[in-house]
Structure 1
Amino acid sequence: MTTVEIEYCVPCGFLSRAEDVQHALLTSFGEELDAVTLETGDRGVFIVRADGDVVFDKQQDEYDVDEIVRSVRERL
């Protein structure tokens, strides 16, 4: 089973993005995931990790919920 962590910048207002990704992952994979957790951060961070491996980083990737879901699917 896979654990997904979504680290997001609180001062930047990225909570809604983090919740959108969390909802999409839970809707798509449900029981295939151990957990989808939200972790607060700062300095513009928005990173999604699956079992500790970065599958999305705002600094390197274009924000796309569907692409994030596909990246997590590859880890399942």
Structure 2
Amino acid sequence: MKPTVTIEYCPKCGWMMRAAYMAQELLTTFTDDIYGVTLHPSEISGRYSVFIDEDIIFDRKKESRFPEIKELKQLVRDRVNPEKNLGHSDKK
């Protein structure tokens, strides 16, 4: 079964639009590689974490920043389809 990406975001912080944008980018890039992207409003203030199935791949508090979309695509690609070429979003 294809993996599911979950973006957990703080609704009180107003981060739903950021999460929706990142979900759209991931769905466009990984159409054939993932089952879908779930947006999950967090009950914990300040949370912005990205998971693939149950494994966390990015945590805003741990990194002290938000992920760049290029970075997030690389993290997802490395887990779901390491051979996939991301074009201009690929590592240099």
Higher relative contact order by CA 8 Å / sep ≥ 6: 1 or 2? 1
The answer for the alignment partner of 2:78 in structure 1 is: 74
The structure having more radius of gyration, on CA atoms, is: 2
The answer for the alignment partner of 2:55 in structure 1 is: 53
RMSD: 1.0
Q: Percent identity?
A: 36
TM-score by length of 1: 0.92
TM-score by length of 2: 0.77
Partners of 1:6 and 1:39 within 8 A in 2: yes
In structure 1, stretches of 5+ residues that fail to align are: none
Shift of 1:69: 1.0
- Report the number of matched residues: 76
Shift of 1:19: 0.6
Query: What CA deviation, in whole Å up to 9, does each residue of 1:10-56 have, x standing for no partner?
Result: 00000011011101100101121111000011310000001211111
The separation in 1 between residues aligned to 2:9 and 2:76, in whole angstroms, is 17
The separation in 2 between residues aligned to 1:60 and 1:21, in whole angstroms, is 19
